[in-house]
Amino acid sequence: MIKLWMAPAGLHIEPGRVADARELARIHALGFYRGWPVGEFESFLADANSPVYVACDARRRIAGFALIRVVEDEAELLTIAVDPKWRGKRIGQALMRAVFDDLLLTPAKRMFLEVSEENAPAIKLYQREGFASISSRKGYYPKADGSQATALVMARDLG
């Protein structure tokens, strides 16, 4: 079965491939203080329990991606990132909706995520997509200045 979802700005969303690891690591590093190494993305891309969704154009230039993990009846958004030149075009929203659509084919009933309480655009996206804050983790995210940010733990029911 071919998995393909439409996205704004002439893009579409499709499953990630191991060959995408270097580009995903590049985009991730642009959005987070501590980007993940290429090898970590290679491991996720090779694991059927951690699907990756990439937003790309017809020539497969990647604008953003979402990475989830599914364990029994729960799903977790491990990370989502959009290249800065593509931000503000609802790519993140399209990625989240592709994830939700694909999760309908799994036993997952609930989805969780963690987000820095300082990341207002991401929190706004998650709230728009039905997530609510259920707890927090103080000092969870390291920051460039050496301090630490609190993570909000958010969840939403699926289906």
Q: What are phi and psi of 28, to 5 degrees?
A: -60, -45
Which residues have C-beta within 8 Å of that of residue 64, sequence separation ≥ 6? 27, 54, 55, 80, 81, 82, 83, 86, 91, 92, 95
Point out the residues that are catalytic.
Answer: 114, 126
Tell whether the torsion through CA atoms of 141, 84, 120 and 90 is positive or negative.
negative
